[in-house]
Amino acid sequence: MSQKSLYERLGGYDAIAAVVNDLIPRLQGDALLGRFWQHRGEDGVKREKQLLIDFLCSCAGGPMYYTGRDMKTTHKGMQLSDRDWAAFMGHLNAMLDAFRVPQAERDEVVAFIQSTKADIVEV
């Protein structure tokens, strides 16, 4: 008997999309991280949000096909620092609290996100 995928256990597409939809405005409004979204067009941000949803769903075992770029290529040159990363994780944890994600799934989500850090943080 195989266990259900993380995608299913998190509540599928709608649950993951709901978290990302709440997360992006929090990042945009953050004093440290807001700079990454300054002067970006609304539609570009919507597109990025959709790609993030697709990426997370697909990595969690969902049926989506991720059409975006890999994490290294996407964030190269943004000079993301450890402080930026810590601020991002703070918002992610607040979202996982707000959506009452159970501990086992929460640990898996955090471990997965941490696994992308080496490709994203540059300085």
Footprint of ligand HEM (CB under 6 A)? 33, 36, 44, 48, 51-52, 55, 68-69, 74-75, 80, 84-85, 88, 113, 116, 120
Q: Measured from the CB of residue 43, what is the shortest distance to ligand HEM in angstroms?
A: 11
Contact, 49 vs 21, CB < 8 A?
yes
Q: Measured from the CB of residue 88, what is the shortest distance to ligand HEM in angstroms?
A: 3
Alpha helices in the chain (DSSP H): 6-10, 12-28, 42-59, 71-75, 82-98, 103-115, 117-120
Nearer CB in complex with ligand HEM: 2/42: 42
Q: Measured from the CB of residue 115, what is the shortest distance to ligand HEM in angstroms?
A: 8
Nearer CB in complex with ligand HEM: 12/110: 110
Classify residue 43 by burial, with Cβ atoms within 10 Å: 0-12, 13-18, 19+.
exposed
Q: Measured from the CB of residue 41, what is the shortest distance to ligand HEM in angstroms?
A: 10
What is the C-alpha separation between 110 and 98, in angstroms, rounded? 15
